[in-house]
Amino acid sequence: MFGQNNIWEDPNINQINRLPAKATFYSYENVNLAKANRREDSKYFKSLNGDWKFNWVATPNEAFNTFQNTDFDVSKWATIDVPSNWEMRGFGKAIYTNTTNPFFNNAPFINHNDNPVGHYVKSFNIDETWQNRDVILHFGGVSSAFYVWVNGAFVGYSEDTRLPSEFDITKHLKKGANKIAVKVYRWCDGSYLEDQDTWRMSGIEREVYLQAVPKVRLSDFTVRTDFDENYQDALLQIRPKFTVNIEDKFIEKVGHFSNTPLQTVVDNWTLTTQLIDAEGNKVTPEKTQPLKTFLGEKYPARDNVYFGIIETVVKNPKPWSADAPYLYTLLLTVKDNNGKAIEYTSTKVGFREVEIDDKGRFLVNGNPVKLIGVNRHDHSMINGKTVTKADMEKDVQLIKKFNFNAVRTSHYPNNPYFYELCDKYGLYVMDEANIESHALGGKLSNNASWANAFLERGIRMVERDKNHPSIVIWSLGNESGTGPNHAAMASWIKDLDPTRYVHYEGAQGDPTDPRYKSSFWPSHVGNPTDPKWVDMLSRMYPQPNELESLINNTSFDKRPVLMCEYAHAMGNSLGNYKTYWNVVHKYDRAMGGFIWDFIDQGILQTAENGKDFFAYGGDFGDVPNDGSFCLNGIVAADRTPKPEIYEAKKVNQPVVISEVNALKGEFEILNRHHASSLTKYNLVWELLENGKSIQSGKLETLNTKPYQKESFKVNFKKVSAKVGSHYAINIKGLLKENTLWERAGYVVFQEQFALNLSSKETIASMQSKEKLAVSETAKTISVRNELVELIVDKTTGYISSYNSKGIKLIETPLKLNFWRAQTENEAAYRRSMKKTNELDWKTAANQFKVQKIKVDASNTSQISITVKGEILNPKTAVTLNYIILGNGYVKVAQAISIDKNVPDVPKIGMQFDIANQYKTVEYFGKGPQANYQDRNSGAFLGLYKGDAFTMSYGYVVPEEYGNHMDTRWFSLLNSSSQGVLVKGENPINFSVSPYSTKNIDAATHTHQLEDRTVLTVNVDLIQQGVGGDNTWSFKAEPHQEFKIKGGNYNYAFYLVPVTDSLNKIAPETIKF
């Protein structure tokens, strides 16, 4: 079953003939093209993306051995687009697994009976202008190992799915048509290092192109910037490498070179460098140095060579930061001994310096910075692991729009274009090596035969990405244990690039080892074992109190504390996000964190019933799989923002406004930007009465500096408060000008403050002149007149019918409800904590036993019906009171006493169905996105309107959704503006869904949700938080302050028929 001689099963052989890794840059024929740096404009660039001929087989034994030959006929093969994953084009199965390898563990060997192979063939022609140049073939990323041939000749072999592989194919080319053939293996020894929590897909998944480069060329260069101690002037340092490939002799110029005769060939050749600002102005004069300066460099017997082989002091450069991502262009020109330019190229340069000070603060250009980040996987709902430039740019725009400033490339290097976007838009990047051996733990890091693989993956990442100012941290990978191979990686990277910091969460102590147990928390969070070769204490999924404990435990370590993963956003989640950031902002050492994660990894599919849905693990018959665990994003798989991201936006906002005296219009503003003042914002305000704007204005521009506070005043006119009305003031910060990521007028930050204005009047208890008749049967109590008909079922104690002027206002009884469709977090903690008794609440309302019913008809214009009863399991006493007015208004009151020994309650409320013609929803409550006890900072009290079918985000795995807290009233109307209004005696929670709770609970995918003719309406006193510190243990549970315990609960709401116009009803005055 397992072979011994295949190089794709040998961890010591990771490449054959692959060129050394280098920074990303391109060769141009003139300086203007180099300045613009659009590679497609270069005549020396040729994309090989597009249609390729393709053949797929299930095992290596079935693979073709001669398909690379020029006479092999592939005309009958399928056609596949490159780049792509072949599973997304109908070949083989996509597999989603978190930590389990999708093949039998026997490193480095692979099961030969389960290792599909893809054969790719493409023809191309070479432009005549490419003569006398070397041609480099570039693969951006191939999963997982591949051989390549050109015109039947073997070119090379490479592993590492997420980094480029380049080969010099010059000697294999011919005039006219050329044939490239690629054989790709789904699994190889390197797959043991690619056990990441993502879809396992195969093929040529990143771009393929050719470059024609000069025989004498700039093969690589490193750029560093170093500010002086005042962060005013900066030293620009450049270290170039050259390749001389003359007379069929290929030498990369690194190290000793003084004795080679080839030095005389380029004796008078030069390299010219010049820095240009973003406006096109020359910042430095041209600096020209002979190539022999570089080619003749000798490495000393002690110490190392000085880095800055080319140096220039730049006076007062504009610094680069995520706040203000200013980029310069560095031009590099190679000229021959006649002074003729042979090659032009360029790169963007950002003047940026990162440090960690003695307080444990993370600094950028001397300013303390919190990393407000997301973990981001490459994902397309259509293309799998192949993402387009548009996908990447959309991601960066969303990350910026929602007030994040950092991204972790979990868990592998990204396409170079992504880093260009981060440089351009302004995001701090943790660049992570393509190493995760989760299934084997640290076994491979402690095996010397894997050392080369570890080192190559780390070093090649740094060599490629070293010139991007956005990258501030190198990460050695993810969840791979720790050992000498990681230590070697860290040592290499620190010496190779001393300007950035090294991260690796897996370097900490083993949480299962009793020697390392924290005295504070039975978890890995406080283990004092992080080696010195990591520059920060990185932890996954601490709870806020654990995070604070680690930060305060300075006895063994004072390095910064970072949450490389936290706030597991699976399903309806991201409770407690604000709590985390209260801790982070409290402590200098708290470096920030990266939410897990940015995007749901759902795959768009169409069900047999014609409905589209997002597939997840197991939906393709993939075994093993981890189900829906790939759905953790704060944006959906189609990049639609989910409710969670609005909470993040509010908590993340870079400007905080606090109340000094809201009634007097006095406020204070704090600028948390680290590199920009507040002059880029327009500050506006509005005064709301019951959610409607009654005053508004614009404030003077504030020039508040970073980390500074400033007082300001809102001059609103005196308000004569109306009885029962609610008043609030909203203050917003809007972009003054268009940015790359959003247009002018976009709200970056906002706050809302309630104004304690009260009327001298009080709300009078509502009276009705219309008389009501009461009739009883053995089963029902009926209350009716010409305006209203209401029936109470004596068996259930519930209102079973409610009509007004012939309009049927409820389709099902108004019944007690203690259950919400189970969230992913609830399923997780109930399973892990064995809290399955909470499921008893699912059927509690159906077990309500009526003990006594009393009708009070002493006032014929106001009938009272009181129902007393109990629920035996979980033990609960209930009193329901219905007061019906002659005008059709109904008051529903609950008094509930829940035994203190019963399981925690998901929610307390009532539920009914209404015909779906009443789909127009208007409400005065928190919105517009869904909100819960532990996730409502980003929702603001206001007047909102929507459609019941589209107003709420429904999750890929159906679960509780769409709740709105602090609701004063809501209405459900049809196209004729008729329907019902529900008003809370005190603020309530509500939601409306086209689907039943039972259907939502049972469904595993959205296409299983059944269309109905009714809507389900929830009117709740309270529901528990959504939790989500993680989604697999007790930490998934809402924090105790957001749970519902046994005790006494009372609430009431009013049902109001709307038969004419909602505008004629003043909800705030309803009381009886």
Q: Which of 463, 479, 546, 647 is catalytic?
A: 479
The percent of the chain in helix, strand and coil, each rounded to the nearest 5, is 20, 35, 45
Residue 209 falls in which region: left (phi positive, over 0), alpha (psi -120 to 50) or beta: beta
Return d(Cα 889, Cα 1056) in angstroms, integer. Answer: 5
Q: Find the radius of gyration of the CA atoms of the chain.
A: 33
For residue 941, give the 3-state DSSP assignment: strand
Return d(Cα 938, Cα 876) in angstroms, integer. Answer: 34
Residue 479 falls in which region: left (phi positive, over 0), alpha (psi -120 to 50) or beta: left
Choose among 506, 447, 497: nearest CA to 476.
506
Three-class HEC string of 565-605: EECCCCCCCCCCHHHHHHHHHHCCCEEEEEECCCECCCEEE
DSSP for 640-675?
PBPHHHHHHHHHH-SEEEEEEEGGGTEEEEEE--SS
Choose among 457, 469, 472, 466: nearest CA to 412.
457
565 belongs to the catalytic site: yes
Please, are residues 226 and 195 in contact by the beta-carbon 8 Å criterion? Answer: no
Separation of CA 580 from chain center: 17
Q: Which structure tokens are listed for 327?
A: 């980029």
For residue 382, give the 3-state DSSP assignment: coil
For residue 258, give the 3-state DSSP assignment: coil
Choose among 301, 880, 1007, 280: nearest CA to 609.
1007
For residue 112, give the 3-state DSSP assignment: coil
Please, are residues 561 and 537 in contact by the beta-carbon 8 Å criterion? Answer: yes
How many Å from the N-terminal Cα to the C-terminal Cα in the chain? 80
Please, are residues 678 and 655 in contact by the beta-carbon 8 Å criterion? Answer: yes
Please, are residues 816 and 878 in contact by the beta-carbon 8 Å criterion? Answer: yes
CB neighbour burial string for 83-106, b if at least 16 within 10 angstroms, e if fewer = bbbbbbbebbebbbbbeebbbeee
Q: Which structure tokens are listed for 944?
A: 């909102």
Q: Which structure tokens are listed for 69?
A: 């030959």
Q: Which structure tokens are listed for 444?
A: 């491979």
Identity of residue 628: S
Contacts of residue 1067, Cβ cutoff 8 Å, sequence gap at least 6: 690, 924, 968, 969, 981, 983, 1056
Using CB atoms within 10 Å of the CB of residue 287, give its burial: 0 to 12 exposed, 13 to 18 middle, 19+ buried: middle
Contacts of residue 95, Cβ cutoff 8 Å, sequence gap at least 6: 102, 199, 200, 617, 620, 622, 623, 624, 625
Return d(Cα 508, Cα 510) in angstroms, integer. Answer: 7
Separation of CA 831 from chain center: 26
1068 belongs to the catalytic site: no
C-alpha dist (Å) from residue 414 to 87, 386, 432, 499, 580: 20, 11, 9, 21, 28
Contacts of residue 664, Cβ cutoff 8 Å, sequence gap at least 6: 713
**Strand bridging mode 406-408 / 371-375:** parallel
Separation of CA 996 from chain center: 30
Catalytic residues: 479, 565
